[in-house]
């Protein structure tokens, strides 16, 4: 079987929203008005912590696809002031969020037990507040949300190969500045900064999916013990530690790009390792100089820099059935699926979507019932489904 990234087509039902005159779509999508529409038309479950489970109207997969968003739209009207990563979420909210993640992932693994038949993934993307709202391709909802997705392997196998040069296939092997110039120090920093007991770093070749050949070049960790480990609160602390290490590396690097010989950024999570591993590493500092010198003479390149941390963090099941965690820097336009070599082309086709909708909604209501039973929220009634724990 030839390996390579795949491009699949996913039909959707066009959303009947009218963008007010004079607004760009991505400006309207960040408004409280649009988020209210998200609740009323696609909301599945809500809880007092402002976590909203909803159907993805513009989904990646019509097999199984749902998201949880930290819906602060009514409490924080400034889209640029909303939390955009887990480290900005209050502890009490994050604890509930982690339990919701665990239950939904467990449901997907039970419903799709064979890794040869279904690609299962769950992850979140930072919608970084430094992106101008008017930039093309900026994500449509400026709040932290995560995704739970299942792709049938048969669909991926039958799909044509994606263009390997597609800029949305942003990962360590092709476009990553970290991996291209600082591979060794990147891994050393993670190894020395993080005290991991439930996550074991994997060699790159072991973590790739045979069908797509991805992830490429990204640090990956096996979840020791598999799905049952997701019930251990320590796992989620280690999951957060990986993000904290990534944020420290990102912030330290771009502070050196911005200002030669800059001081350590304030409030880093692992200051001793930043000092000893990063600020004394010649490859790290030479690469910062390379980027800084180009920014000075290349306006387009400088404008593309995301000076504040932007990330995608992912849990996926590999070919051997192991659960694996990986993390990558984020770019405008790309999706978490592309870390695994899956490019999704969404096409408006209400009839095709309608044929998939009953089975999709049935599964979404099943997982909603589990969350309600675990006291993680109350069901939302829409025109498409009832409220409560009903599964039909």
Domain extent for 357: 1-164+330-392
My answer on whether 180 and 58 are in the same domain is no
Confidence (pTM): 0.92
My answer on whether 79 and 156 are in the same domain is yes
- Which of the two residues, 204 and 14, has the higher pLDDT score? 14
Select from 281, 306, 328 the last residue of a domain.
328
Select from 328, 349, 380 the last residue of a domain.
328
**Residue 14: phi, psi to the nearest 5?**
-55, 140
My answer on whether 217 and 355 are in the same domain is no
Using one digit for the tens of pLDDT, what is the confidence trace for 179-190?
777 888 988 999
Using one digit for the tens of pLDDT, what is the confidence trace for 292-336?
999 999 988 887 777 877 788 999 999 999 999 999 877 655 678
Using one digit for the tens of pLDDT, what is the confidence trace for 106-155?
999 999 999 999 999 999 887 655 555 555 555 556 678 889 999 999 99
Select from 280, 305, 328 the last residue of a domain.
328
Given a cut of 90, is residue 284 above it in pLDDT?
yes
What's the structural domain count of the chain? 2
d(CA 223, CA 201): 9
My answer on whether 236 and 317 are in the same domain is yes
My answer on whether 41 and 112 are in the same domain is yes
My answer on whether 293 and 197 are in the same domain is yes
**CA angle at 54 for the pair 48 and 59, rounded to the nearest 5°:** 155
Banded pLDDT at 170 (limits 50, 70, 90):
low
My answer on whether 205 and 323 are in the same domain is yes
My answer on whether 265 and 344 are in the same domain is no
* pLDDT at residue 235, as a whole number: 98
Given a cut of 50, is residue 392 above it in pLDDT?
no
Helix (H, G, I), strand (E, B) or coil at 119: strand
Helix (H, G, I), strand (E, B) or coil at 46: strand
My answer on whether 337 and 318 are in the same domain is no
């Amino acid at each position: 079987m030839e390996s390579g990234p795949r491009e699949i087509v996913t039909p959707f039902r066009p959303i009947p929203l009218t963008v007010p005159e004079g607004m760009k779509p991505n400006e309207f999508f960040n408004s409280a008005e649009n988020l209210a529409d998200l609740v009323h038309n696609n909301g599945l479950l809500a809880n007092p912590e402002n976590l909203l489970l909803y159907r993805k109207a513009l989904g990646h997969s019509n097999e199984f696809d749902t998201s949880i968003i930290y819906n602060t739209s009514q409490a924080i009207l400034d889209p640029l002031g909303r939390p955009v990563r887990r480290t900005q979420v209050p502890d009490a909210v994050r604890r509930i969020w982690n339990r919701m993640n665990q239950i939904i992932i467990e449901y997907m693994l039970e419903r799709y037990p064979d890794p040869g038949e279904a690609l299962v993934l769950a992850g979140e993307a930072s919608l970084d507040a430094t992106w101008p709202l008017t930039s093309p391709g900026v994500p449509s909802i400026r709040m932290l949300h995560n995704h739970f997705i299942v792709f049938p392997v048969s669909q991926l196998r039958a799909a044509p190969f994606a263009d390997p040069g597609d800029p949305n296939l942003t990962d360590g092997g092709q476009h990553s500045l970290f991996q291209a110039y600082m591979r060794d120090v990147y891994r050393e920093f993670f190894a020395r900064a993080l005290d991991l007991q439930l996550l074991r770093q994997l060699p790159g070749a072991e973590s790739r999916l045979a069908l797509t050949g991805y992830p490429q070049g990204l640090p990956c960790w096996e979840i020791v013990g598999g799905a049952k480990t997701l019930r251990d609160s320590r796992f989620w602390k280690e999951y957060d530690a990986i993000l904290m290490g990534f944020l420290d590396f990102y912030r330290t690097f771009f502070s050196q790009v911005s200002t030669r010989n800059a001081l350590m950024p304030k409030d880093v999570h692992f200051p001793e390792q930043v000092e000893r591993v990063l600020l004394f590493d010649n490859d790290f500092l030479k690469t910062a100089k390379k980027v800084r010198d180009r920014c000075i003479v290349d306006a387009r390149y400088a404008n593309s820099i995301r000076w504040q941390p932007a990330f995608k963090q992912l849990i996926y099941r590999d070919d051997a059935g192991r659960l694996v965690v990986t993390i990558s820097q984020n770019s405008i336009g790309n999706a978490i699926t592309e870390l695994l070599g899956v490019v999704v082309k969404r096409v408006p086709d209400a009839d095709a979507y309608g044929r998939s909708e009953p089975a999709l909604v049935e599964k979404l209501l099943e997982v909603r019932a589990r969350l309600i039973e675990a006291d993680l929220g109350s069901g939302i009634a829409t025109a498409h489904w009832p409220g409560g724990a009903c599964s039909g």
